[in-house]
Structure 1
């Protein structure tokens, strides 16, 4: 196997275990005496850990090397509503993780409903890209100090290098598919 592929696979497994354990990158770094930057690079497949470091990480994440490297059964391809995870904020905005295991992959699709005259939490600049397709209603996509108007049947796409936010300026809920890469935690 190609080294880059192996690094990405190890990184995804570390990130998945860290998330399952409810740890931040900083908390895992503190437990393993590594830096948050190293953990971030490792999870993105940008560095190769030494065997000793990898074994220490695996132990801190509550598993064994045998379980960590065990190949899983066939990957799930189809996901139904019963498996979705939903978060509703105080304003009634809804975010559904429509592929519950997406943190293991390179993109994370969400089904989002933003209530009239409400907005989602502002997102700080980060590596990655974001794409959305508006199914109903309309949105304002705010990138830095620029506002883009998007209506039903239109899509948006941007690198997430600037502060960004999504709001609904309309009189009815706006529903859209939102895909982030890499997945957000």
Structure 2
């Protein structure tokens, strides 16, 4: 998942910010990357990386995706929900909210795999007039979306698709795309993302 803004007005909570700080620093050192090198590889400013590693920034979903791709890990690795044995149960308090819309909508990362092949399961709740815009994912990234309630408008490379309740969509998302609730009622949808790190 990639967002346009470097920080969330929609914020990650403090415990997640600290986990992100620790993990990014750990993975960067494991890859023997300087902040300058990681900045170039991830296309994130060095200043932002410094703030992230100090736990002083609330990086957007887009920034987390760029970091994961640059470091060859998954977003779940960075937000610390993928550690443990082969079977990992995420209890309600373990599931991070990584996006908050301006009217109170949320996107929660329910589960994710470890490593450079990233498979993520998301649960979205979007209120009327909320929008989430995304930069292109890495080449070949696939998203599977199922609308549980309401009507979700999806814009994929300027094509507008209205996905109604109980309908599903499979799309390659290596182009600019966005999710919008243009209706007067809440929209709930689940999303699975399959992406391979490019590094």
TM-score, length-scaled by structure 2? 0.56
CA RMSD of superposed structures (Å): 3.5
Q: 2:108 aligned with 1:93, yes or no? A: no
Higher relative contact order (CA 8 A, sep 6+): 2
C-alpha spacing 1:102/1:20, structure 2 compared with 1 (3 Å): farther
Is the Cα contact below 8 Å between 2:101 and 2:130 reproduced in 1? no
Q: Is 1:111 aligned to 2:123, yes or no?
A: yes
Tell whether the 8 Å contact from 1:138 to 1:152 is kept in structure 2 after alignment: yes
Kindly report which structure 2 residues correspond to 1:77-156, keeping only aligned pairs within 5 A, or say none.
77-86=88-97, 87-99=99-111, 102=113, 104=115, 106-120=118-132, 122-127=133-138, 128-156=141-169
Runs ≥4 residues deviating over 4 A: 17-20, 31-35, 39-42
Q: Structure 1 length as normaliser, TM-score?
A: 0.60
Cα contact 2:143–2:193 (8 A) shared by 1: yes
- Larger-Rg structure: 1
Q: 1:152/1:33 Cα in 2 relative to 1: closer, same or farther (>3 Å)? A: closer
Question: Residue 178 of structure 2 aligns with which residue?
Answer: 165
Would you say the 8 A contact 2:147–2:167 is kept in 1?
A: yes
Number of residue equivalences: 137
Among 29, 36, 40, the residue aligned to 2:41: 36
Structure ranking higher in helix proportion: 1
Q: Deviation at 1:20?
A: 4.2
2:24 to 22, 25, 44: 22
Aligned to 1:172, the other structure's residue is in SS state coil
